[in-house]
Each structure stands twice: as structure tokens, then as C-alpha cells.
Amino acid sequence: MPPINHSMLSASSANRWMACPPSAKLNANSEDTGSDFAREGTCAHELCEYKIRKLLGEDVQNPTENLDFYDAEMESCSDEYTSYIGECIAAAKQKCSDPIVLVEQRLDFSEYVPNGFGTGDCVIVADDTLFIVDFKYGQGVEVKAENNPQMMLYALGALVFFDSLYDIANISMSIFQPRLSNISEWQISKAALLDWAENTLKPIAELAAKGEGEFKAGEHCRFCKVKATCRKRAEYNLELAKYDFAVPDTLEPIEIAAILSKAEELSAWAADIKEYALEQALHEVTFDGFKVVEGRSVRKYKDETAVAETVSNAGFDPFEKSVLGITAMTKLLGKAKFEELLGGLIVKPKGKPTLVPISDKRAAINTAAEDFKEDV
């Protein structure tokens, strides 16, 4: 896997800096502390790279013994991704007999974004069609390929690389997100992509590179390093204060809709503020009216093996016995065997009604209360 190197205007952060250009410089100047989620994703990508290179016939070494987060789920997800790449290669071979396949390829799109570059998980060139595939191991947010700036930047970088050698006319983009069972695919013509690059991307990127433009709060704040102290985000969320914590049944539907549209982001913002304040307080920053105390803790065994042995020797059974959950059972049996043995024994009851934005891809339900009464 290539050394990790990040551009201030990287493809992976494009969704944020395109929406909020001045955030680019602020994030570049902030320390990147990393997270277990990021390190887990890095391990998954390294395993995927190994399997794709092996699929391509390269002599590569299995990295699993050096992966801190390797487990059965990662093994299964990387297998699924490898199978999908195999399908993409097969589709490419329908267009040309010998497509080019690149894995973990550095892609330079600085022609459109100052010092812009990123790493494409898999790039396939098949005469007139360019395939861009991105593997995402996260399971927090489902990511779509349609009009995805990260994918479009990767495509621009690949075009810079290959356009002089091939008569590329179309770009096919895919996001493979196995832990959410999400495969999102989208196609765009080269002409449309270049129009976006010149008329939308380039002007914003120039502002972002200078730290200029307007701050804007929204869903893109999720991965911003300065989200806890951003004044624009605070203003955005504190707009709800005008409702003065009114009793819900005194509000008009249009007011409730306005509150609902921000409620989730408001909760996330409050959590970010608390996390940031605690971190600062632990470094001797004081906040009027607050102090750091030891949180609630629960008792635990020092040595579970010793506990089990001691209780067993006393003539008691120290273990609970229960059927494995569906996820654990699937890992034990494997998906095919699970379906063979237990497919007919699985039921999926109706989920609890949940109010979500209209953009949610799930179909609306019949809201009649009778539909959700439990059988008696």
C-alpha cells in the first residue's frame, strides 16, 4: 500500500470543502488525531488491495497477520469486494480484450484543483469507458455515487492520466460499501464531467486554496476537524433557539418541520461541543460552572478465566448459554450454509415507525395505528 499522504484539497474531503471552501485551510492547519474507525478502514483497504492484486496474478504477500483490526467480517467484506471487481473487469472485457486495471493508484487532478490529488482504489480503462471503483468499509453513513465529488475528482485524475492514450467517452463510477449492503453506481459522459470541472469545481477550488469563500454548515460538517468550535455551525444550530423550547403542540406543522430538519445535526453538534470541552478541560482549560469528575463505573472481573475456574470448582456452572445472534451465527456457518440451514427459520417483523427526511430511500408506510398493534 502506498505511503499515506494527504492533499489539503483531497478527493476524500471534497464534499466538505466544496460546500464550505474556507474549511479547507482550517482543517489543514489542525492536528489529525486519527481514530480507530479510520485505522480499521485502512486495514480493510490493505486487505482488499492484496486480494485484487492476487486476482490480477501478481505475486503479493498476505498482510492479515499485520492488520490490527482483521476479523471474519473484514475477510468476508474484502471477498465480496474482490468478487465485485472481478465482475467489473469482466464487463470491461466486453468492451476491449485487454483492459488496464490499476489498484491504489495515485490520481493527480491539480489541473483543476490546486495541488489536488488522491488515491483511487481501483481504476479500469476499457477503450471508450473508464471505470472508477471506491471501497468504503464504514457503516455509519450510506454513500451514493451519483454526483459524488470524490468520485468525480478521481475520474478527472484518471482522465488526465489516460485521455491522451484512449478515446474515453464515458465514466462509470461505483461505490462498494459491504457493511451496509450498498452498491451505488452512476455514469456520466466525459463532456459533462469536464463541464462540471471547469464551471463548478475550478472556481470553488481556487477559493478553498486561498482560504476564501463563505462558511456553510450542514451534513458535510460531520468529518470537519474544527466542527466543535466553528461559529457558523453554532449559528446554524442556534437558529432553533427562536422557538424558545416551546411545547410541541403549540407549534405549527411548518415550524415542527423546520425543527426536525435540524434536530439530528443539533444533537450531533451538542455532542461535539461536550467532547471538545472535556478534552480542553483535561488540559486545564476552565469553563465557568463546570468541573471534571470521575464518571460512573461498574464492577468487573479481574480475570474471567480464574473466576470461571473458581466457580466450577465450587460445583456451580459459571456460564450463560444462549443461541448465537444472526450476525454471529452467519460468521460461524458462512452465508451459504446459514441460508441452507436456517433460511426458513428467519423472520423479519415490522420495524418501529421512524420519522425520516423525504430523501430517505425507504418507502413510506401506512401510518394507521392499527397496522403496528402487536398481536394479542
pLDDT in tens, 263-306: 777 777 778 778 888 888 888 888 888 888 888 888 999 999 99
Reply yes or no on whether the pLDDT at 227 is more than 50: yes
In this structure, what C-alpha cell is assigned to residue 283? 488540559
pLDDT in tens, 28-51: 887 766 678 889 999 999 999 999
For 150, the enclosing helix (H) or strand (E) is: helix 149-162
Reply yes or no on whether the pLDDT at 5 is more than 60: no
- Under the banding of pLDDT at 50, 70 and 90, the label for residue 245 is low
In this structure, what C-alpha cell is assigned to residue 236? 446554524
Rounded to whole angstroms, how far apart are CA atoms 8 and 237?
Answer: 27
Rounded to whole angstroms, how far apart are CA atoms 11 and 15?
Answer: 8
Q: Which string of b and e fits 221-255 if b means at least 16 CB within 10 Å?
A: beebbebbebebbeebbeeeeeeeeeeeeeeeeee
Mean pLDDT of 127-133: 92
pLDDT in tens, 60-117: 999 998 898 899 899 999 999 999 999 999 999 988 888 999 999 999 999 999 999 9
- Under the banding of pLDDT at 50, 70 and 90, the label for residue 240 is low
- Under the banding of pLDDT at 50, 70 and 90, the label for residue 1 is very low
Query: Residue 102: helix, strand or coil by DSSP?
Result: strand
- Domains of the chain, by residue range, sit at 14-210, 227-281
Q: What is the mean pLDDT of the chain?
A: 86
Predicted confidence at residue 62, as pLDDT, reads: 94
Reply yes or no on whether the pLDDT at 198 is more than 90: yes
Reply yes or no on whether the pLDDT at 155 is more than 80: yes
Rounded to two decimals, what is the model's pTM? 0.71
Reply yes or no on whether the pLDDT at 250 is more than 80: no
Mean pLDDT of 21-28: 88
Reply yes or no on whether the pLDDT at 132 is more than 80: yes
Mean pLDDT of 191-209: 95
- Under the banding of pLDDT at 50, 70 and 90, the label for residue 241 is low
Predicted confidence at residue 6, as pLDDT, reads: 62
Under a CB-based contact definition with an 8 Å cutoff, are residues 136 and 48 in contact?
no
Predicted confidence at residue 372, as pLDDT, reads: 47
Residue labelled with grid coordinates 480542553: 280
HEC sequence for 251-274: CCHHHHHHHHHHHHHHHHHHHHHH
Percentage of the chain lying above the pLDDT 90 cut: 45
Assign a CATH topology to domain 14-210: Lambda Exonuclease; Chain A (3.90.320)
